[in-house]
Chain A
Amino acid sequence: MASTEALLPVTSRQDPLSESRSDQIPETRRKRPIKVHLAVCSGLLLIALYVTLIVTHDGSTAQNGAKDETSTESRARLAGVSEKSNDRVWRLSGDGKTEAFPWNNTMLSWQRTAFHFQPEKNWMNDPNGPLFYKGWYHFFYQYNPNAAVWGDIVWGHAVSKDLIHWLYLPLAMVPDKWYDANGVWTGSATFLDDGSIVMLYTGSTDKFVQVQNLAYPEDPSDPLLLKWTKFSGNPVLVPPPGIGAKDFRDPTTAWKTSSGKWRITIGSKVNRTGISLLYDTTDFKTYEKHETLLHQVPNTGMWECVDFYPVSKTKVNGLDTSVKGPDVKHIVKASMDDTRIDHYAIGTYYDSNGTWVPDNPSIDVGISTGLRYDYGKFYASKTFYDQNKKRRILWGWIGESDSEAADVQKGWSSVQGIPRTVVLDTKTGKNLVQWPVEEIESLRLSNKKFHMKVGPGTVVPIDVGSAAQLDIEAEFKIKKEDLEIIFGEDSVEADEEFSCQNGGGSTVRGALGPFGFSVLADQSLSEHTPVYFYVTKGKDSKLKTFFCTDTSRSTMANDVVKPVYGSFVPVLKGEKLTMRILVDHSIVEGFAQGGRTCITSRVYPTKAIYGATKLFLFNNAIDATITASFKVWQMNSAFIHPYSADDL
């Protein structure tokens, strides 16, 4: 039933410049006069000169760093990145509208997700060594057994038959050797020709050097792979000359070269250039380092969690990491330390000399306007080839966007995204397409179907009962006549400036948007999280569609990061606008156009919790009427629990 009441309040467009912290990079560089008593120093001039030379060298390195940091920072801000945003600290005070209130345990315990992987308690970060073996999907992860913040890192372990119903297992690896005494960090698994598994992982040594270590299952006949043996000859790789002792981590899954050797890549940096080192090996114990890099991109900073894999140009199935050939493109992905964004690019791999060239260098790996798996909170991601169902599956670490005090109080921090299949978009050829693994549909309970016309400036409550665990699939159509008006009218200017981040969020109304769903909303919409399309007239008069998630009003709490996330999404001729949303308490995952653009958000309502959580459909466009056709499923819990004999 459409209602004309409760229009979402219109607020003025926020000026991103007023929000941004200019204090991050100082406006002026104050010169501090260096007092030099030349007369006095004559005797000790040589020594003074020596000292000055040393510190000036250090100083100039910092200077260069600062310059590049400025450009990286401002590019990051343009892209609307906020990882525990700078803006947040200053916005806390003086805003009379939001009240300060303490988090209570009722609010905090609601935040725990029902069907996303997270350990029983404490801190988790990067996914590690995902693989399928003897009927089980294995998932390892960076874990702090002692606190709800990063530290004391070990490898957690869990198994599942279906990537959804996970069973906790004992820790797989702990820092019990000198070469990983300060941390058992991220790594990847490789299957050898005989089906056996080798695991390469980064260790932080007792002297804080980052090295690569080899481990393998202690008992290959154990389908649960409970115990792991570390190679007695570890480390197998140490930082090479020219690479910093703390800039050498996250080895990839290996791929077979045409000469029959195995090849891996490891991210690093040289000054501000992100790079990916290349090594060949036959036994995973000794390696030859390539003189050339797999790839490098200036001004992108340290590359963490590099991933490298083939995608088919024509087929919808995933490919084993070693596949090469004319039917295949290769993806290089890296996690950018500077901005906490995962970027990827599509290109061509030349096996003979181990180089990779992007199809479009202007959106090379790490460039802020380049491609991302996800335009929200999503980092340290890693894919693996699932030989069971012939898919390439993507894991992504979803950190918290709240304060560490809240994490400590609630006793945990971070979840993993729902695993996604990854394939090349064969229709555009220019981006990947991701989709939650189909096994998640086993959690679908009852559903309700809706079909409705929604006029401009309308908000419609959608009655689905409980609204904290939902799977929504929706299709939108803009009324043809409205589109033609927008196209035809010269007075409707092309909106070249629009981006989700500076578009002012969901309350700024355009001719053809925003429209979508408000999830995790309370009845009065004092808290809500809109996930929406915003259609603009592009500069060539073609329509340009954006997919956004606005968390700025998701909660009354103000010690939480609340960005507007999103990006342009390609919509091809004849396609309807489609969106899928997974809601699971404090996480919302949105997928537009079948997964061409994905947005993960963390949301912490204080009121829109338990029975008060509602769902709304809205059309905040000025001119367009929207027809929405959608299905909403209640989602069951995955009942993730510790493994027991009953689980076999």
Chain B
Amino acid sequence: MKLIVMVMTMMMISEGSMIDQTCKQTPDFKLCVSLLNSDPRGSSADTSGLALILIDKIKVLATKTLTEINGLYKKRPELKQALDQCSRRYKTILNADVPEAIEAISKGVPKFGEDGVMDAGVEASACEEGFQGKSPLTSLTKSMQNISSVTRAVVRMLL
């Protein structure tokens, strides 16, 4: 028991430092910490690694949102036009923004990573805007906006 507590304490100290320090410099500390802590790579990652973890979260969220969008076509057929737009926007996040950001950060030209990550937030906002106040996706798009702004802050640390 003592051993487990000791080991857990060590992990808390190390996590408390790098992720802590990094997340303090983002607009949403809580979100940042929860995202990074939820990934096993988080505790030993450098800034690039943390950025890549967050980009992965963007990818996961985009996939989840696309699934939701696809489901809405049947349930809310009157929203087809807006859903089409959202589908396009979120496919851009998955097929353009995420690969661009991963390549840029891996290769050490983070500014293109910043572009990709920021664009994820733009696409989410544009999708939301298409419903003109009556969006069925608000919590998902808001989530993307938030993760995008947190990720951008981390990517900027690499500039």
Contact = CB atoms under 8 A, between A and B. Distances in A.
A66 B25 CA distance: 7
Nearest to B111: A337
Nearest to A48: B10
A403 interface: yes
Contact of B157 (A48, A55, A62): A62
A302 interface: yes
Given A89-B122, A149-B97, A404-B119, A558 B129 contact: yes
B25 A25 contact: yes
B27 A559 contact: no
A52 B108 contact: no
A403 B122 contact: yes
A321 to B, nearest CB: 26
Contacts of A44: 6, 10
A30 B17 contact: no
B148 A26 contact: no
Interface string B94-111: 011101100110111111
Given A34-B13, A88-B122, A102-B81, A58 B21 contact: yes
A151 B149 contact: no
A199 to B, nearest CB: 20
A136 interface: no
Contact residues on A (Cβ < 8 Å of other chain), bracket: 35 or more
A102 B27 contact: no
Interface in B36-81: 46-47, 81
A410 to B, nearest CB: 12
A100 B81 CA distance: 11
B83 to A, nearest CB: 11
A243 B146 CA distance: 34
Nearest to B100: A149
A208 B104 CA distance: 11
A59 B17 contact: yes
A558 B129 CA distance: 9
Interface stretch (A35-43, A127-135, A464-472, A493-501): A35-43
A407 B126 CA distance: 14
A335 to B, nearest CB: 10
Contacts of A66: 24-25, 157
B107 A183 contact: yes
A166 B13 CA distance: 60
Contacts of B25: 25-26, 62, 66, 69
Contact residues on B (Cβ < 8 Å of other chain), bracket: 35 or more
Contact of B92 (A35, A183, A302, A408): A408
Interface in A177-232: 182-183, 204, 208, 210
Contacts of A47: 10
B92 A404 contact: yes
B103 to A, nearest CB: 5
Interface of A: prevailing SS: loop
A310 interface: no
A92 B14 CA distance: 39
Given A43-B6, A150-B112, A59 B123 contact: no
A446 interface: no
Contacts of A37: 5-6, 9
Interface in A74-122: 84, 86, 88-89, 92-93, 99-100, 102
Contacts of B107: 182-183, 204, 208, 246
A210 B108 contact: yes
B40 to A, nearest CB: 17
A223 B110 CA distance: 37
Interface centre among B12, B108, B153 (most CB of A within 10 A): B108
A62 B47 contact: yes
B9 A84 contact: no
Interface string A390-428: 000000000000011101110000000000000000000
Nearest to A63: B21
A519 interface: no
A36 B11 CA distance: 11
A102 B84 contact: yes
Contact of A52 (B13, B128, B132, B157): B13
Contacts of A69: 25, 156-157
Nearest to A125: B112
A55 B18 contact: yes
Contact of B97 (A25, A102, A404): A404
A62 B22 contact: yes
Contact of B96 (A21, A149, A182, A245): A149
Contacts of A24: 27, 149, 153
Interface centre among A86, A99, A149 (most CB of B within 10 A): A149
Given A48-B10, A51-B10, A92-B125, 4 more contacts: A58-B17, A89-B149, A93-B125, A100-B131
7 contacts: A26-B27, A36-B9, A40-B6, A41-B10, A92-B129, A100-B132, A208-B107
A-B complex: 5 closest residue pairs judged by Cβ atoms: A246-B108, A23-B27, A59-B21, A55-B17, A100-B129
